[in-house]
């Protein structure tokens, strides 16, 4: 998600009802896995993540953080009901 933060502004400018679901694994896990798969020592793939909800709010976009995936369906309904961009963050270990 950190690679595409400007998309928050673009969605807001366009009033696009985009729901951003951030699976926050506290790093670039896909890149780390790819490095490990080819025998490369992972470096630089576990940066401290920002507070994604605060980033959304800085753009004026509503956001919420879920304690787990069990509440995702309800959060998606809330997000859709706004008709505006919305961020849902799901922290995982």
- Does residue 86 form part of some domain? yes
With respect to residue 19, please indicate whether it lies within any of the assigned structural domains. yes
Domain hosting residue 15, numbered range: 2-23+51-91
Distance CA 78, CA 66 (A): 13
Q: Is the per-residue pLDDT at 78 higher than 80?
A: yes
Total domains in the chain come to 1
Q: What is the pLDDT of residue 64?
A: 98
Q: Is 66 within the bounds of a domain?
A: yes
| 38 in any annotated domain | no
Residue 55 lies in a domain: yes
By mean pLDDT, which of 23-37, 55-69, 75-89 is the weakest? 23-37
Q: Is residue 87 part of a domain?
A: yes
Q: Is residue 35 included in any domain, yes or no?
A: no
Q: Can you give the pLDDT at residue 37?
A: 94
Question: Is residue 63 domain-resident?
Answer: yes
- Name the nearest CA neighbour of 75 among 84, 86, 85, 83: 86
What pTM does this model have?
Answer: 0.83
For CA atoms 18, 63, 55, 12, the dihedral sign is: positive
Q: 24: how many CB neighbours lie within 10 A of its CB?
A: 15
């Amino acid at each position: 998600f950190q690679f595409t933060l400007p998309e928050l502004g673009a969605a807001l400018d366009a009033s696009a009802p985009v729901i951003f679901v951030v699976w926050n694994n506290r790093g670039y896990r896909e890149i780390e896995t790819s490095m490990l798969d080819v025998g490369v020592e992972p470096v630089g793939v576990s940066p401290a993540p920002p507070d994604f909800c605060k980033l959304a709010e800085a753009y004026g976009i509503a956001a919420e953080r879920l304690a787990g995936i069990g509440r995702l369906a309800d959060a998606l309904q809330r997000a859709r009901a706004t008709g505006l961009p919305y961020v849902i963050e799901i922290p995982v270990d």
